[in-house]
Structure 1
Amino acid sequence: MTVQPPAPVVLAVDLVVLTLRDDELCTLLVRRAYPPFAGRLALPGGFVGPDEQLREAATRELAEETGVRQQPGHLEQLATYADPGRDPRGRVVSVAFLALAPDLPDPVAGTDAAASHWAPVRPLLAGGPLAGDQPDALAFDHLEILRDGVERARAKIEYSPVATAFCPPEFTVAQLRRVYELVWDTRLDPRNFHRKVTSSAGFLVPTGQTSRVDGGRPAELFRPGAAPLLHPAMLRPAPHRQRG
């Protein structure tokens, strides 16, 4: 019996970069400059160098494809995607990363992308003009990766203080509430939200300052606390929780 040598496997990284712009949850997309899927939209990403750590490759690809060199407020590994048919060039295994940051700047396409821009997440997840079988659908399995990244962000802000990664260094409770509303795509009761976040030990730290950024009377400013987890958790309204 002849044993066939294993097919070569190439390692890549892809990034789901989420930020808030124009009161919408947005993700970073690039217009691919080269085959396969030349001219199609995709998540930023690329191949891992022989001497690179995965995180290094992710931050390098983000800079090369979009010009965004600002370190995200939060960066973590999301999942590994290894379907044999996910890339027509061969067996490409991609490790996806999730990055969260407040109001990132307009991207500038780098050497590996023809263009890059921020796109609202809602129409993508709803099967809008950039999803599904449309001519400008996302390349590869990037819609699946995007869905997983958004769901990870939605779940993570339930039990951890990572929602503050979308906020400026000092923020009001109303600003934080809007983060939860945009990420969860739902409306929240202001009084109930204020009670929950201010009673969660170590979630927020008062700065002693106030701001009129939200209009009306001055609102107290906070900064992120040191708690790694939220007790109790900030659970999504039941209709918006993913069912497993």
Structure 2
Amino acid sequence: MISEEKTNKHLILLKGFAKFILPITVGVGTLTALGLSLDNETWMKLWPLLTAYFFPPLGKESVIPAAIAVGINPLLIALSIAFIDSIVSLFVVWNYDLTKKIPLIGGFIKKVEELGRKGSKRYRWIKPLRFIGIVLFVMVPFQGSGGLVGSILGRLIGMKPWATWAAVTTGAFTGCLLIAYFANILKSILIKNFILGLTLLIVLLIAFILYRVAKTGNNQKNNPKRK
């Protein structure tokens, strides 16, 4: 009996260690292999952008177009960013409580949890849609809609870890590929017809600014400052 308990404890510890180390190993190993397989010029352009993706406010909506603008293959940058989201999600769903103890990230997770539990308008539409909701949320090319937040929300609405990871991964790959596709089209238009391309770019920029202004206004209405 005692021997069985020890065996079970060892298995639990081994399983926990595997869940911790596997995403890190796969992530680092894949990116290392990618770096070794690419020519030096491409890798020197790519790795700073992949690194920048980890630091807000930069997101896939800015990193992917920037990469395409400097000549990186659209498919390469799209799959690379989506892979990062997928690996981050896998680590979070497997090590959620541990992730909450990581400086800065832990505080951010608690903030998202609080907003989710309070029924924030930004997140509450996801709950009834569950899997599809997480997919759509991660697909949206705006700040705070990546693999980390998607994984947190999946947990909050009671989804199983594997379902959450699958939803985040689906949304990440779909969203990144769409962004890369349209960014590449815009680049082609700029090359062929600079005026038309510039006009489209300005329209998109204005639309983004209006969205941010409207979003800020809604946040101020929903969270009025106490006097």
TM-score by length of 1: 0.28
Higher-helix-fraction structure: 2
Q: Quick one: higher RCO (CA 8 Å, sep 6+), 1 or 2?
A: 2
Identify, as 1 or 2, the structure richer in strand.
Answer: 1
* TM score, norm. by length of structure 2: 0.30
